[in-house]
Structure 1
Amino acid sequence: MANTEHDELASLLRETNEAEQSLTDQEAITETVEENTTIASSFGDGTFLWDEDPLSGYTPSCEDTRIMEDKISRIEKQLQYLLSKADEFQTQLVWSRNCVQDYGFGNIIPMFLETCQPFFSLLESTARNSNPFCPPQSSNIRMQLLQFSQQLCSRLEQLVLLFASFSFCSLEESDPLSVSHFSIGQCQIDNMKVSIFRYCCPTPFLASSLTGLYKRMRWNVEREIEGEGDGKTYDSAEFYFLCCEDVIEAADDQNEDRSSEGESTETDSESKVSRIWSIGRWVQTYPDPNTEDIIDWVLCSLPCGQYKQLLCLGNEEPSSCTATDCLLGALLSQETHGTFSIIK
């Protein structure tokens, strides 16, 4: 009897220690992110985000260079810490039987993704934010920060897919508790606030029906409205997507000749299917977004819309940073010229 009570007490102590350790790790991650978010304020003021182009008329001093290298080093340490936590969670999942049997272990993923959001916003806003009162940012620094963002994004995507393979989380967008996508930062470009999201795997563009179109990224674009008062007011968001679609290409003359001779064209048929990547906008068709009749909105359980392609990116999937660059370039082109430029 005494041994049984001792075993139960020992088990309870182990569970308590594991819970406290998990909470301590989560607090440590949050504190580290908050510390580096504080660094963002000094990055964001543009004091040391100089342009190394001699035509800009400004040459950074040795002290400026040292301070900037120190800030980049601290941000890189934060990146390595988050990557190491991802590796730790993966190791626990793969090698710990207790974790596999503990369904609460799946809560780590949404918590960890949420914890990484401030760091993503630090990277994206520092690399992309435009401020007319600050000197241009160094292209080398911008590239480094976006590489950090891409590296963490890829690692989190792998981690989510691994947890999903163990049935700890769902990737189905129709599931309210799914982890089909996660935030990878926010930035302010001129009068536009852009929120960036990454889908863990190609996801049907419409959850209610199959259209052959699959989304990989989403951008929520809000445009600032000029008005009275100190606070910023934004218009309703526009939704842009990075999508892919399998397109059947026309057969060439050689394949037609082989077919007429009775030869097998199975391999040739497979080669005709090409995956095309594009960026487009969600355009609502019903209810009419410009209508003032509220009855249509009340009676509509699910708004209907279609995908309007804006940019064709070709056969190769772009990285999340490259895709964001393409969209921002198109949006800024639209602001300047009123039209979208097609990127091949």
Structure 2
Amino acid sequence: MLLSIIIPCFNVSQKVIPLLDTLSLIKSCDIEFIFVDDGSDHEEHLALSELLYKKLGNVQLYIQINKGPGAARNLGTRKSRGEYVWFVDADDNLNPSAIDTLREAKCHNFDFIDFKISKREISSSSMTLGQGAHIASDENRSQLIYCFGRLCTKIFNKSFITKNGLFYPERCIYEDNFLAMAMPFYVSEFLISGTIGYYHNISRNSITRPASSIIEPRYFDRLVTARESAARCLSLCKNEDERHATLEKFRRQFLMVTTAKIIKSGSSEMLLSSLYSAYKFVIEEFLKSKDVHDEFIDARKLLIHASGADKQRVMQAWDSSLPDEKAMTDFVQGRDEAWGGEVDFPVFM
């Protein structure tokens, strides 16, 4: 079996139809489709089952209690028979031509092949490296940390995942952030293709983009996954460039994106202050005292630059916040209660 296309599903019976129409065009016997229902409502599950067998026929469908898309992808990986795996979201789509590129490149045994992504009819590469084959090394790994890009645009060699234990965290969302930070430390060789392989649909009501502007506790999964991944990656860094790249990526995932979300939601300044207290606490976990001071200065400058009309509000929250373990604990406990348990992180090899 060449390729397993793995699709996590949660209440997506209407959104998945374009993807099913595309998959129905793939007739190769060495391609398998694995759908994992991540605890959908009963009616949604029945609708999904009917659609799958009507449109695809030969398909694998597994069911699990709601543990997030990462857990669904892990189950799909364990059940897969393909040498390669492609994780595709149910409300997105793919270009079957990418499979032709995989067939051509298979003999090189790349860890992954990265394809262009099309979003709002604009295509681009999520990796800012040139097309062609690349070899990762200590000399260029910091650049790879910066520009590893999205996981959905990559067809992975399954052995790259299994031999390194690079599975998704479970009982969370923002699971991609965790692996996108860690994978650059394990990759050896990869190919960047000029083919558009993935079509991203920006849904107004998805797991990570709910219709409501209210911030739910599960949103703060991004803090927990970013913290855990950064802690592991900092221990793997071999030089200052890798360390700097890892911290910059952590800063974006934990601090900058979350600040923008809080401002957009109209949440109180108290939530901003709690975020900054949690961030400062985590940075003190990671760094020595002199480096902590420098990081706080850099983070403040970035917040000033990014906050625009909300600069005064953001600076007031930042300047008044102190490192506080309880702030981080409150975020963790809130999301743990929402999920009914802690994040289940994989063990890297």
TM-score bracket, normalised by the shorter chain, equals under 0.3
Greater C-alpha Rg:
1
Give the TM-score normalised by structure 1. 0.28
Q: Whose relative contact order is higher, 1 or 2, with alpha carbons under 8 Å and at least 6 apart?
A: 2
Greater share of strand:
1
